[in-house]
């Protein structure tokens, strides 16, 4: 299943367009959406808690720095509905379109 990386501000519109394209193509599966942005992010939350029921990954912290093993690293912090959201066929059961 193709995945789409979008910002929360335009995610709903893009989801509607992509879902329509899936239906027109005769697909019965749903697209995966990785959403950037949003408020109240925490690494223990689920992607749909951004307020979008179709989110399968949430990039909540962008371009921050953390110390790991004595090294300061630039990172983004994400949560995902599956251990590997890029793996083909991984659509969590709690995501409902």
| pLDDT tens digits for range 12-45 | 999 999 999 999 999 998 889 999 998 889 999 9
In Å, the largest CA–CA distance within the chain is 52
Provide the whole-model pTM.
Answer: 0.79
**Residue ranges per domain, the chain?**
3-80
Beta carbons of 1 and 95 less than 8 angstroms apart = no
Backbone angles phi, psi at 53, to 5 degrees: -60, -20
3-state helix, strand, coil in the chain (%, to 5): 20, 35, 45
- 46-71 pLDDT, tens digit per residue, is 999 999 999 999 999 989 999 999 99
User: What is the per-residue pLDDT for 96?
Assistant: 43
In this structure, is the dihedral angle defined by the CA atoms of residues 69, 73, 77 and 79, taken in order, positive or negative? negative
């Amino acid at each position: 299943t193709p995945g789409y990386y979008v910002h929360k501000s335009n995610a709903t519109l893009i989801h509607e367009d992509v879902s329509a394209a899936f239906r027109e193509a005769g697909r019965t599966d749903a697209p995966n959406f990785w959403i950037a942005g949003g408020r109240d992010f925490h690494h223990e939350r689920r992607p749909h808690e951004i307020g979008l029921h179709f989110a399968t990954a949430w990039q909540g912290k962008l371009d921050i720095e953390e110390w790991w093993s004595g090294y300061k690293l630039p990172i983004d912090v994400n949560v995902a509905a599956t251990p590997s959201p890029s793996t083909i066929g991984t659509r969590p059961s709690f995501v409902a379109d």
